[in-house]
Amino acid sequence: MTYDSDNIFAKILRGEIPCEKLYEDEETFVFMDIMPRADGHCLVIPKTPCRNMLDASVEQLAACLNTVQKISHACMDAFDAQGITLQQFNEPAGGQEVYHLHFHILPRHEGLKLRPPGQMADFAVLKQQADKIRKALAR
Ligand code: AMP
């Protein structure tokens, strides 16, 4: 299993395709998922290449989880969420579709199911939700 530097998240990191960016630090980058399964569904990725959890370094995983926790707190705040579901898929059999390590952050509310996968966001709504998370991060 090798890393393909033409994957869509590598292109986002290089600024070759647009995204609704929420946050970045030296090691990680965070943006909205364009097919959100919950309001505020966003993705945390390392800035350095790795395919998934299986080939990631301990440093890449630690940096991502540090950011996951930070963004999860902001999402709890921004959406008055009651919980967070964290998803991370590895290889096709594990449900992975984009081959650059990423963690899904899904704000959750009691009794509200995740939406089915594959439904494209309304980009105006996605931006409003991103604004809420950015505001919560700034608090
Ligand atoms: P998976 O590899 O199964 O974790 O799925 C990849 C995720 O990336 C899915 O939730 C997609 O909706 C999301 N996705 C794919 N392309 C983009 C993109 N250009 N910007 C933001 N999210 C994306």
| 3 has a pLDDT exceeding 90 | yes
Q: How far is C-alpha 71 from the chain's CA centre? A: 9
Identify the residue whose tokens are 């390392």.
46
Domains of the chain and any CATH numbers: 8-138 (3.30.428.10)
Q: Which residues contact ligand 1 via a Cβ below 6 A? A: 8, 19, 33-35, 43, 89, 95-98, 102
Ligand 1 atom nearest the C-alpha of 104 is: 4
Find the 119 Cα to ligand 1 centroid distance in Å: 11
pLDDT in tens, 13-32: 999 999 999 999 999 999 99
Are 28 and 46 in contact by the 8 Å Cβ rule? The answer is yes
**Which strand (E) or helix (H) includes residue 87?**
strand 83-87
| 108 has a pLDDT exceeding 90 | yes
Please report which confidence band the pLDDT of residue 1 belongs to, taking 50, 70 and 90 as the band edges: confident
Please report which confidence band the pLDDT of residue 80 belongs to, taking 50, 70 and 90 as the band edges: very high
User: What's residue 116's pLDDT?
Assistant: 97
Rounded Cα distance, 31 and 25, in Å: 12
- Output the residue whose Cα is nearest ligand 1's atom 3: 96
Record the pTM: 0.98
The tally of CA atoms less than 13 A away on the side-chain side of residue 87 is 19
pLDDT in tens, 32-76: 999 999 999 999 999 999 999 999 999 999 999 999 999 999 999
Is 104 designated active site?
A: no
Are 104 and 75 in contact by the 8 Å Cβ rule? The answer is no
